[in-house]
Structure 1
Amino acid sequence: MKRHPLLPCAALVLAAGLQAQQPSATFNAFNDWLTAEARGVSVGADGRLRLAPALRRVAQLPEGVVWSAVSDGTAGAYLSAGNEGKLFRYTAGQVKPLAQVKGGIVFAMARLGNDLIVAPSGEGKLYRVTPAGDVKPFCEIEARLVWALGVDGNDLLVAGGGEKGAVLLLAREGSSRKLADLPEETAFTALAPDGKGAWYLGTHGRGLVVRYTGVRTGDRLETLAATGFEEVHAIALNGGRVFAGATSGVSNRFATGSLERREGYLAEPGTQTKSAVIRIDRDGVPQTLWQSTQSQIFALAAWNGHLLVGTGNRSRLFSVPLSDAERAENPFAALQDLGAAQATAFLPAGSDLMVVASNPAELHLINQVQATEGTVESRILKGAPLADWGRAYVESLTPQGTSVDFQVRTGATETPDSTWTPWTPPLVGGERPNLPPARNAQFRLRLSSTRGGATPTVESVRIHWANRNLAPLWEGVEIMPPGLVITRTAPPDDIGIERVPLETQKLIPALGYAGSEKRSFRRGAQAFMFKVADPNGDPLAFAIRLLPEAGGAPIPLEKAWKERFFTFDTLPVPDGKYRLEVTASDAPGVPLNAALEATWRTGAFIIDHTPPVISEVSAVQDGDRVRVRFSARDATSVLKEAAVSADGDSWVQVAPESRIFDTQEATFDVTLPRDRVRGNRVLVRVTDLCNNEQTASAAIGEPKRK
């Protein structure tokens, strides 16, 4: 037997050093393979892969769902499918229509002699169907829906739901009578005989497991277990023990679905548990053998020393050892995946076992002979956003006559299609695949054996890749109004001495917090907001420089700024026009020789500390009004606003003679009511775009220059 090691010791050290920088994926536990596509390969509870019992599809039905299936006694089967009471027969490898009965879906059938007894929903009747397809009434029953039929000699046990809850009936041709009922439950949903005169039933409502005895000796109904689930959908008996498949949320109309990433098949049932296999031993003690938060149980069968569990929402067959000793060593295995949505029934078929699937409706045969070949296709591995795909290491046991091949393919789409690369030839352990960089990748394991009964075992797979580093992507840099301060520290205490412009007040909620940063106001401050993202999600650092428009050397402000906002004090900088240059680098999150950067330069903005000059100020009495005239000019910025105070307290906004503030100089001519003027002086104030202010005054009655 060959054992293929995972990695040489030296390579292990190297891989450990790269782990923090480069991604890898390890598959060595059951959940790692949960969303993989397995064909002919079983996945053990310990995460090991082995060849599974051989499975082959033998037939398909034109309908989507098979609701009920019974053996025809000759390795064939009778099937009810679709929503219109259609019946089919599978024999000699072919599916042929048999008959169609009046009513709705046929959820239950039984073979009585050579004939088939069916129970169409909503009819309150049973029908007899001959092998030739002739349909005739069998008897009337007091049940709205029949979920299971059982044969007791020449009689039938009918399990279903009536107007007053779950009901069990005895039916024979031309008549029927009630054996037992459970008004607290909606219906009996499963039925299985023990061969000694007792019948075991499952219910819908509280998910009870019930034993009925006394078809001929007096009715007796005994509850063995309350599972805590909504419904017991399947029951199997073996060695005096009862196995119940309990499920919540089973729909009459089967739906397709997909599996999630994680499962807890061995955990104790909880509020999120969707289904469970519960064993009731000879002493009536229940024990949960298997449970799922995703799958629903549709069928159970004792076969080849194991309990087979047919599930949806992905038609996976699970195998649970019947032996306590074997189960302690390997609690369960995902035995096969049918490739449909639900595995709904198991039927004996000679030495094989027939498995019925729905969505699409198919028939499969599974036998005790091990498959000679099987494949497992992994889940899609994702680069971020583009990756170079590297070596993989497979740890496996390969007895003589067995082998394990490893292949990889890559592509850009979420699911493999014709645009993906072909599978590589089988790779030797540690061989780097010759593949182009791609966003997604998938690997495939092929297990094979030329010796009967011998199987390779895959214990783990580890695959490495390196995400292609991409440069940061700039959307822009937002230039904030002059005076706004954005920091992670508390706002300055002296903010109260500043007159904060209205447009800036709107950006400072209560002069306090705005998101994770804190905002305030201080004259001479200039703030910026960086809108940039890294395609790889790497942390960024920013080198920031101030570029004078008039020429001259750039002024460095920061070398490795970490925030997405930046504020600097403009007071040491001469008045003029500038641009901010910000270079974003992903160096904090990638190796030194792989770092990339991207630069953004802002539009030009003004730094202006000098207030406007006010000249030719005059206030002249003109009848019952006062006429105020003045001129203003700013060397750097456009004028933004002007105001006049006639009482030394309140200010009145005024417009220039041109009516628009759009130049660096303007003249003003304003008249005020004389009774609004207190004292003999008038004040004027002018503000530029950088919030620099200048005031002046004039005595009433004579022109005043400043």
Structure 2
Amino acid sequence: MGRSLVLRDWVFVWFVAWLSAAPVRAVSTSYWKHTSEADFAAGKMDAVVASNLGDLKLSRAVRSVLEPDARVSAVHALAQTPDGVVYAATGPQGILLRIDGQNVTTAHNFGDNVNLFSLLVDRRGRLLVGTGGERGEVYRFDDPAAAPTRIFSADGVQFVWAMHRAEDETLYVATGPSGKLFAISPDGQVRLFYDSGENNLLCIAARDDVLYVGTDPNGLAIRINRKTGEVFVLYDAAESEISALALDENGNLLAATGQASPDEAVESAAMADQKGRPEVSAGGVPIQAAPPETPTPPQLPEPAPGEPRPIPKFSLFDDNTETVPAALPHTETAATAPARSAAAVAPAENGNAIYRIDPEGFVTEIYRGPVAIFSLLAQNGAVLAGTGSDGKLVQVDPAAEETLVLAKVDSRQILALLAGKDGAVYLGCSNRGDINVMTRGYAAEGTYTSPVLDAGQIARFGKIRLQGTLPEGTSAKISTRSGNASEPDSSGWSPWSPPVDVAQFVPITSPPARFFQYQLSMSTTDPAQSPVVGEVEVAYQLPNLPPNVSAVRIVAGDASSPDTRARHTISWEATDPNADTLVYSLQFRTAGGGEWITLKDKLTAEAWEWDTRTVADGRYELRVTASDALANPKGSGRSASRISDPVLVDNTPPAIGDAQVTIRDRDATIRLTVVDRTGTVARLEYTVDGNADWQAVLPSDTIADSPSEAYEFTLAGLSPGTHQVGVRAPDSAGNQAYAT
């Protein structure tokens, strides 16, 4: 369904352009419009994000708790013990970090060339660490202050990717590079529980007695009954690896893919088209559609109780006047390890996906994007996804069909997500190794700077139209700048205009120029609320530029008959930089000079058929003139012309004369001359006694290339009696002359 004004607090503002008395100017107004995720993604966002529904809002507040540490280039896993302490598994130097509030310390060093890939807190509050390197092992900390105890090591295991502790205290260990799942009983006995035949079991999730594992390189989501040992493939993804699994509150299994590609994906290619949004309950009062009856600004709309405050309809200045712009001038440890290192990983060509598999086994793709997905967290009906290679934390709300980048971190990949006991979400990152904490609320402030908008010529700017909502406790301001250099940081740009409160009609005070930028500054004093801008439209007006006639072509008619041969098709190509409607006129003159004679005017099509029999034979030039006069105020139209290459008009056949016949015995020699007044003689042919076969004859100089050609040919061995000889001579235009 389309975007509903009743369901959302959208405020529409229509842009009114300046109409001054500039001497040459197009009537129509042009617009730059930003209303989709892809539109906004072309700009620069600082603590601001854009959803797939085209909503621009503040991002969640994110702060880093880890100072740069040369020992840490990746944070692979996070876990929190009952006392609220968060632990971070890092690589490649085996550092286990301890985060207690703002304090980050080294809990243990497992040694160089060791990656800590997985963490688990068991029912007793003990921390378990899964490692990767020459051997993949599991260690348990019985006392945080003491050295850990190794509880698992097996031949052929190099990576412990994930762990799960069951209700009966059995520990399940997902490994690589041989894709084996091990079970460790409470008394420490280790047994091979399942051999998948895959290279790696990258992730594990569980509900009751059912285990779920995700594999590489065939991208399988596998269900295993740990009581009966029954194995069932729930889904075979098109991508090569299932990189993360999670279970939501409805019992659905969420499976994310992280297939890598050597090529960078083009993000805009995966940006969602505007398809409207589902019908969900939302507050807000739609703006009245009827325009005001007088120029006096109406009173600001009063929202109903509990509804967010809309963007005001007018930008109010102290003197209620507008500033008028001036008038316009003219590691991969083993070959079978998946790409989960600290190096940047580009997503697969078609991006990666999150699949929702319901308890009945039905699979729904709830997200696809040009990212590699490394971690999942189901929270409050939504799904958080840690991605690379741009460090975006994506929130997917299947019910609202909304995808939102909650935050973007400086690190390129978000490998791990943890829901803290205090409601914060911890992000384990790589490239560089970092730990970020995202609070529940929005960032206090953020800015969005548009891409450089190019009018193509010096333009005058009117007003900015804004659409969105301002909940209580939030605000937004806008400023603009313009310039004639493509790089906005050069000296050829005006300074940013003073920020003004957003309104439905915001006059642009930046001077006329070719290039333009706007900047939105958002802020909130209520962490639960954010300003929302759903559409920005900038109106600009170019000076009335002349049209351009880029080509004139003349094609002669079909030479098969005199009627079609004389009809020439004249066509042309013309454009107008202001997109004005053009009207054309055709004129002709004798090639080389003379007065122009109007052939046809008030043409709207870019082609016309010319019957050349209405003019004398000769060489002519044609002129096409394009005018935008009807699309502009009277007297301010512009025009442009283009002259064709000379064209030959020749509708008269050659003349055949000076015929002489010499008879000797049974031979007859015929001499004659063929003359064409306009073109050249093409050839001569004869036939005897009405025969259907015409015999070609060469001219005396053996080449037909002149207006006058002499011919001589002999008819040998004629039978006694009278004979009739017919000749025909076409010219270069196809006109034919006959004689007998």
Q: TM-score, with normalisation over the residues of structure 1?
A: 0.70
Secondary structure at the residue paired with 1:638? coil
C-alpha spacing 1:677/1:541, structure 2 compared with 1 (3 Å): farther
User: 2:700 matched to 1:657?
Assistant: yes
Q: Over residues 424-443 of structure 1, what are the superposed CA-to-partner deviations in whole Å (9 max), with x where a residue is unaligned?
A: 224544212424443x6443
**Percent identity over the alignment?**
22
- Alignment partner, residue 739 of structure 2: 696
Q: Over residues 392-414 of structure 1, what are the superposed CA-to-partner deviations in whole Å (9 max), with x where a residue is unaligned?
A: 13345556764312134557899
- Alignment partner, residue 670 of structure 1: 713
**What is the rounded CA distance, in whole Å, between the counterparts of 2:717 and 2:76 in structure 1?**
101
User: 2:293 matched to 1:278?
Assistant: no
- Alignment partner, residue 704 of structure 1: none
Secondary structure at the residue paired with 1:447? strand
C-alpha spacing 1:465/1:379, structure 2 compared with 1 (3 Å): same
For residue 336 of structure 1, the aligned residue among 407, 416, 424 is 407
- Alignment partner, residue 172 of structure 2: 157
Secondary structure at the residue paired with 1:259? helix
**Higher percent of residues as strand:** 1
- Alignment partner, residue 598 of structure 2: 556
C-alpha spacing 1:223/1:605, structure 2 compared with 1 (3 Å): closer
- Alignment partner, residue 58 of structure 2: 51
**What is the rounded CA distance, in whole Å, between the counterparts of 1:187 and 1:630 in structure 2?**
96
**What is the rounded CA distance, in whole Å, between the counterparts of 1:97 and 1:419 in structure 2?**
53
**What is the rounded CA distance, in whole Å, between the counterparts of 2:696 and 2:480 in structure 1?**
74
For residue 78 of structure 1, the aligned residue among 76, 85, 89 is 89
Secondary structure at the residue paired with 1:571? helix
For residue 536 of structure 2, the aligned residue among 461, 464, 469 is 461
- Alignment partner, residue 180 of structure 1: 194
Alignment of 1:97-246 (within 5 A): 99-101=111-113, 108-110=117-119, 116-120=129-133, 125-126=136-137, 139-141=153-155, 147-150=161-164, 157-160=172-175, 167-170=180-183, 176-181=190-195, 188-192=201-205, 199-203=211-215, 205=218, 207-208=220-221, 210=223, 213=226, 218=227, 220=229, 226=235, 232-237=242-247, 241-242=250-251, 244-246=253-255
Shift of 1:116: 4.7
Amino acid at match of 1:689: S
**What is the rounded CA distance, in whole Å, between the counterparts of 2:368 and 2:720 in structure 1?**
86
**What is the rounded CA distance, in whole Å, between the counterparts of 2:276 and 2:610 in structure 1?**
58
Shift of 1:56: 3.3
The answer to which structure, 1 or 2, has the higher relative contact order (CA under 8 A, 6+ apart) is 2
For residue 527 of structure 1, the aligned residue among 569, 579, 586 is 569
Shift of 1:334: 3.1
Shift of 1:562: 3.8
- For the 8 Å contact 2:58–2:446, the answer to whether it is kept is yes
- For the 8 Å contact 1:474–1:532, the answer to whether it is kept is yes
For residue 496 of structure 2, the aligned residue among 424, 443, 449 is 424
- For the 8 Å contact 2:170–2:184, the answer to whether it is kept is yes
Secondary structure at the residue paired with 1:666? strand
Alignment of 1:35-50 (within 5 A): 37-43=44-50, 47-50=54-57
- Alignment partner, residue 617 of structure 1: 659
C-alpha spacing 1:644/1:118, structure 2 compared with 1 (3 Å): same
Shift of 1:71: 5.0
- Alignment partner, residue 473 of structure 1: 548
- For the 8 Å contact 1:72–1:78, the answer to whether it is kept is no
Runs of 5+ in structure 2 lacking a partner? 1-8, 20-25, 279-349
- For the 8 Å contact 2:137–2:160, the answer to whether it is kept is no
**What is the rounded CA distance, in whole Å, between the counterparts of 2:272 and 2:488 in structure 1?**
22
Runs of 5+ in structure 1 lacking a partner? 322-326, 486-494, 500-520, 698-706
- Alignment partner, residue 373 of structure 1: 445
- Alignment partner, residue 323 of structure 2: none
C-alpha spacing 1:101/1:552, structure 2 compared with 1 (3 Å): closer
Shift of 1:5: 6.3
**What is the rounded CA distance, in whole Å, between the counterparts of 1:562 and 1:265 in structure 2?**
38
Shift of 1:374: 0.9
Alignment of 1:341-420 (within 5 A): 342-347=413-418, 352-357=424-429, 363-368=435-440, 370-378=442-450, 381=453, 383=455, 388-395=460-467, 397-398=469-470, 402-409=474-481
Shift of 1:602: 1.8
Shift of 1:129: 12
For residue 644 of structure 1, the aligned residue among 686, 695, 706 is 686
Amino acid at match of 2:254: G
**What is the rounded CA distance, in whole Å, between the counterparts of 1:340 and 1:592 in structure 2?**
60
For residue 69 of structure 1, the aligned residue among 69, 77, 82 is 77
C-alpha spacing 1:471/1:247, structure 2 compared with 1 (3 Å): farther
Shift of 1:225: 5.7
- Alignment partner, residue 268 of structure 2: 259
- Alignment partner, residue 673 of structure 2: 631
**What is the rounded CA distance, in whole Å, between the counterparts of 1:664 and 1:168 in structure 2?**
96
Shift of 1:669: 3.0
Secondary structure at the residue paired with 1:343? strand
C-alpha spacing 1:572/1:138, structure 2 compared with 1 (3 Å): same
- Alignment partner, residue 490 of structure 1: none
- Alignment partner, residue 505 of structure 1: none
Q: Over residues 547-585 of structure 1, what are the superposed CA-to-partner deviations in whole Å (9 max), with x where a residue is unaligned?
A: 134876533222133444432112221233321111134
Q: Over residues 439-483 of structure 1, what are the superposed CA-to-partner deviations in whole Å (9 max), with x where a residue is unaligned?
A: x644331112456666444354332234566544344323334x4
C-alpha spacing 1:669/1:284, structure 2 compared with 1 (3 Å): closer
- For the 8 Å contact 2:497–2:510, the answer to whether it is kept is no
**What is the rounded CA distance, in whole Å, between the counterparts of 1:594 and 1:62 in structure 2?**
68
Count of residue correspondences:
628
Q: TM-score, with normalisation over the residues of structure 2?
A: 0.68
Amino acid at match of 1:690: A
- Alignment partner, residue 300 of structure 1: 376
Shift of 1:169: 1.0
- Alignment partner, residue 489 of structure 1: none
For residue 686 of structure 1, the aligned residue among 722, 729, 733 is 729
**What is the rounded CA distance, in whole Å, between the counterparts of 1:48 and 1:80 in structure 2?**
37
